[in-house]
């Protein structure tokens, strides 16, 4: 019984760390999109670069939105 409880505890710690990592990836992707948009506005980046980063950001969101869990903190 004690072994099962400790296994569950450590698994929850791993999941928590992975979720924090995914959250930081989303924040970094948002920053990259914002910077690319600013560069595009100044004609220093192509529209395709901005679109690629938007797509990457959009692909991260389903992995973070786990059953009612929101990516944004209130």
Q: pLDDT for 24-46, tens place per residue?
A: 999 999 999 999 999 999 999 99
Neighbours of 39 (CB within 10 A): 14
Cα separation, 33 vs 8, in Å, equals: 37
User: What pLDDT, on a 0 to 100 scale, did the predictor assign at position 64?
Assistant: 75
CB contact at 8 A, 28 and 71 = no
Domain assignment present for 27: yes
Domain assignment present for 11: no
pTM comes to: 0.72
Q: Mean pLDDT for the chain?
A: 88
- SS3 assignment for 53-65: HHHHHHHHHHHHC
Q: What is the domain extent for residue 26?
A: 22-67
Domain assignment present for 44: yes
Provide the number of structural domains found in the chain: 1
Closest CA to 37 of 25, 49, 24, 55: 49
Whole-angstrom Cα Rg for the chain: 17
* For residues 3-29, average pLDDT: 93
Q: Judge whether residue 4 has pLDDT over 70.
A: yes
């Amino acid at each position: 019984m004690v072994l099962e409880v400790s296994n569950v505890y450590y698994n929850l710690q791993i999941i928590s760390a992975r979720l924090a990592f995914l959250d930081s990836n989303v924040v970094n992707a948002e920053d990259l999109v914002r910077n690319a948009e600013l560069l595009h506005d100044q004609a220093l980046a192509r529209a395709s670069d901005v679109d690629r980063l938007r797509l990457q950001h959009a692909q991260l969101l389903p992995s973070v939105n786990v059953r009612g869990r929101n990516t944004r903190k209130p």
